[in-house]
Amino acid sequence: MTVRVMIVDDQALVRAGFRMVLDSQPDLAVVAEAIDGADALRVLDRVAVDVVVMDLRMPTMDGVEATRRICARRDDGRPRVLALTTFDTEADAFAALRAGASGFLLKNVPPEELMAAIRVVAQGDSVVAPSITRRLLDRFAGQLGPAPAADPRLAQLTEREREVLLLVAQGLSNAEIAARVHVAEATVKTHVGRILAKLQLRDRVQAVVLAYESGLITPGG
Amino acid sequence: MTVRVMIVDDQALVRAGFRMVLDSQPDLAVVAEAIDGADALRVLDRVAVDVVVMDLRMPTMDGVEATRRICARRDDGRPRVLALTTFDTEADAFAALRAGASGFLLKNVPPEELMAAIRVVAQGDSVVAPSITRRLLDRFAGQLGPAPAADPRLAQLTEREREVLLLVAQGLSNAEIAARVHVAEATVKTHVGRILAKLQLRDRVQAVVLAYESGLITPGG
DNA sequence: GACCCCCGCGCCCCGGCGGGGGAGAGGTGG
DNA sequence: CCACCTCTCCCCCGCCGGGGCGCGGGGGTC
């Protein structure tokens, strides 16, 4: 079964190049082209397309907006959008994926990868450029799966240590904490040291993260 | 520069197969093997490895736990973990990525893709199997883009600076951030310096607090 | 062309912080 | 009584992080 592809790009040269590459494949067929977002929407009213290869940077209606509209009005899952851009920026990629794109690649990918991506997207799966995948994971890996429940780790701390941790987690230095709790800075240092050791953390920065993640502190509370 | 690979899998046959495939490449070198998670950790104490190819389903210590420990104790971004499994289930994949894996593939990928993935991961980027990428996007696409109701203070930051701030707020050191984003530590320091200056903060600890309080990061999700 | 911003990278300095070791006072419970 | 824990405080040391300064390159704008 052949995949019907539409190419959306304002540069005729790019369109021609993509068409060349894609039409060389027996299972891919470029059935439409468009020069910007508005044009793409008009063409999609008349032509059945499985995958839209969409440049993000375009005049008049940019690729993100076009992607949003295409995804908004599709009813049977098609067409799916594979977003392309020249620039490896988080903003472009996230905007496109948020708008509903099923894939995101940089324009400098080798032809085979582009073709593979089109097949994957046509199948209903997704492809994201490695540099963007990394950023995705950086941001969301912590939210995957079930949260590891309320930390039993905090129970290991003594009352005093929890108190100190709370202050650490508010951004105070050892000296400031010492002033607040009315003890010498040396004392605070030993407390902080014990906290890090017990919780198996490296520095106070990680302690702050744990304080938030464990619910010891809540943003705005 | 050749990539030093370690193979972790309880089946000797699988290890041998991977070794064959990978060693056929001039830029890849299998420098270690392990039969389970515990074994892998021991071996990593002695051998320098860039990428760990980790089977998820193993006896004694499973791949997820092993991945977690490897990622917990690395300090310069290495070794990175590329998780492999036979079964295309969300649970396996998400568990591995949550544990810190830089990549996730199914064992039935063609050899070229496995090799390409290892190179990508060694570089510091990430690869995720298309079926899982789709699930990732289904789940998180809505949360992409500028954080809703973002603190106006964060608007002063450039994109790069926000990216660095995100990593700072996850407890990473400057060196770790450098490895992650692929720049020299000196560069990270300048970025962090600018972040602190723009946001009028004293140190990275306060930056973490702001990241949580401003909604740039949310505990657990 | 001139200017500015962003990025990447290097150098120096130094102060805070983390790690180790030691040590005394109080309170607990075997 | 002694062991154990907690809180308190001290010294030394090494390192990372933060601040200052400079340099080059790329991309915009005027």
Q: Encode chain B in three state secondary structure.
A: CCEEEEEECCCHHHHHHHHHHHHCCCCEEEEEEECCHHHHHHHHHHCCCCEEEEECCCCCCCHHHHHHHHHHHCCCCCCEEEEEECCCCHHHHHHHHHHCCCEEEECCCCHHHHHHHHHHHHHCCCEECHHHHHHHHHHHHHHCCCCCCCCHHHHHCCHHHHHHHHHHCCCCCHHHHHHHHCCCHHHHHHHHHHHHHHHCCCCHHHHHHHHHHCCCCCCCC
Confidence of residue A77 (pLDDT cuts 50, 70, 90): low
Q: What is the pLDDT of residue B88?
A: 86
Strand D, nucleotides covered by protein (CB < 7 Å): 5-11, 16-22
- pLDDT-derived band of residue A122, with 50, 70 and 90 as boundaries? very high
Q: A25, exposed or middle or buried, with CB in 10 Å at 0-12, 13-18, 19+?
A: middle
**What pLDDT does residue A146 have?**
53
Output the pLDDT for position A206.
96
Is the CB atom of residue A126 positioned under 7 angstroms from any atom of strand D?
Answer: no
Number of H helices, E strands in chain A: 10, 6
Query: How far apart (Å, rounded) are the C-alpha atoms in residues B99 and B72?
Result: 9
Question: Looking at the predicted structure, is the pLDDT value of residue B10 above 60?
Answer: yes
pLDDT band at A157 (very low <50, low <70, confident <90, very high): confident
Q: Locate the domains of chain B by residue range.
A: 3-140, 152-213
- Burial (CB < 10 A; 0-12, 13-18, 19+), residue B24, is exposed
pLDDT at site B7: 97
Of B128, B166, B205, the CB nearest to A139: B166
Query: How long is the CA B185 to C1' D23 vector, in angstroms?
Result: 17
Q: Do domains B3-140 and B152-213 have the same CATH topology?
A: no
- Of A46-50, A70-74, B81-85, B187-191, least confident by mean pLDDT is A70-74
The answer, yes or no, to whether residue A211 has pLDDT greater than 90, is yes
Condensed to tens digits (0 to 9), the pLDDT of residues B96-135 reads 998 999 999 999 999 999 999 999 999 889 999 999 999 8
CATH classification code of A152-213: 1.10.10.10
What CATH number has the domain spanning A3-142?
3.40.50.2300
| Residues 170-189 (A) near nucleic chain C, CB < 7 A | 173-175, 189
Q: In 3D, which of B85, B105, B116 has the Cα closest to residue B21?
A: B116
Q: Taking a C-beta distance cutoff of 8 angstroms, is the pair B220, A147 a contact?
A: yes
List chain C nucleotides near protein: any atom < 7 Å from a Cβ: 5-11, 16-23
Q: What is the pLDDT confidence band of residue A144, given thresholds at 50, 70 and 90?
A: low
- The second-level CATH assignment, the architecture, of B3-140 is 3-Layer(aba) Sandwich (3.40)
- Pick from B128, B139, B159: which is nearest to A91 by CB? B159
For chain B residues 142-181, those near strand C by a CB cutoff of 7 A are 158-161, 181
**B183 touches B163 (CB < 8 A):** no
Tokens representing B104 are: 């996730």
Coil, strand or helix at A81? strand
Burial of B168 (0-12, 13-18, 19+ CB in 10 A): buried
Q: ∠A211-A146-B94 over CA atoms, to 5°?
A: 110
Residue type (1 letter), B212? Y
The answer to whether A6 and A49 are in contact (CB under 8 A) is yes
Q: How do residues B39-76 score in pLDDT, each as one tens digit?
A: 999 999 889 999 999 999 877 778 999 999 898 777 66
Are B143 and A142 inside 8 Å of each other by CB?
no
Mean pLDDT (chain A, rounded): 89
